[in-house]
Amino acid sequence: MLAGLSTTSPAAILLITSSSKICMLFIALMPYSIALTVFFFRSKINMESSFIISAASQKQFPEHPYSEIGLMGKSNCGKSSLVNALLQRKKLAYRSATPGSTVMINFYKVSAGDKGVFILADMPGYGYSKTNKAVSKGWNDLMEAFFNRGCLRKVFFLIDIRRKIEDFEIKYLKYLYKLGVQLTVILTKNDKVKKSEIHKAMNQMKKVLETEGKMTKLNFHSISSLKGTGVKDLQDSLFS
């Protein structure tokens, strides 16, 4: 009670009444506050990640007992940004200054407590106009060795939402599809188009892969690494 203020004065009664109402309101909202806290706690996946190696040949592939998840996509499709967003790190992965010039797979170890441990493999970008035939052959040889080593469980196949999928990309997907790898097609940079265009682009991509690629068991996501749209759902799929 404020000094010099009687508990029976009108001001004191008003203060006590107001304080009581605030306390009652706080108590009434406690279940919702607790539920909200639990929601945010559950929605966040605590992950620890570390860079292992940039492998330029099969001999440099790391040996480990874990399953691997690969990120594959055309140069400048947003792979590096997605790696950082998925693993909740700002500068873990960097975009090459000259996309398509270096053929290496970047391996990261990811630990998520009771959810387990896996290896994230960021594959080199493909299809860059400055890439010569020798680099293209090196890319194909490295990818074939990587795909056939038996560790790959899932592949996130990234495509810029603003463009159409190309024939050679459908061939890559069909190759992985026949290997029995879980495939998730991710349309990136959805902040670059209108919201009404996102669903349309997803349906068009699904139709093309079902009709031309004869692939029906595919997962689809749309994301913006810049704004974080869709990243949480993709994080959840890392462990499914």
> 166-206 pLDDT, tens per residue?
999 999 999 999 999 999 999 999 999 999 999 999 999 99
Q: Which residues, in sequence order, are CB contacts of 27 under 8 Å at separation 6+?
A: none
In contact, 157 and 183? CB cutoff 8 Å: yes
pLDDT score of 136 = 81
Residue with the bigger pLDDT between 80 and 68: it is 68
Across the beta sheet with 117-122, the strand order is: 48-55, 105-111, 117-122, 68-73, 152-160, 182-188, 219-222
- Whole-number mean pLDDT of the chain? 80
> 116-165 pLDDT, tens per residue?
999 999 998 887 545 567 778 888 899 999 999 999 999 999 999 999 99
Look at residues 126, 149, 133, 111 and name the one whose alpha carbon lies nearest to residue 71.
126
Look at residues 237, 71, 164 and name the one whose alpha carbon lies nearest to residue 80.
71
Find the mean pLDDT for residues 92-118.
77
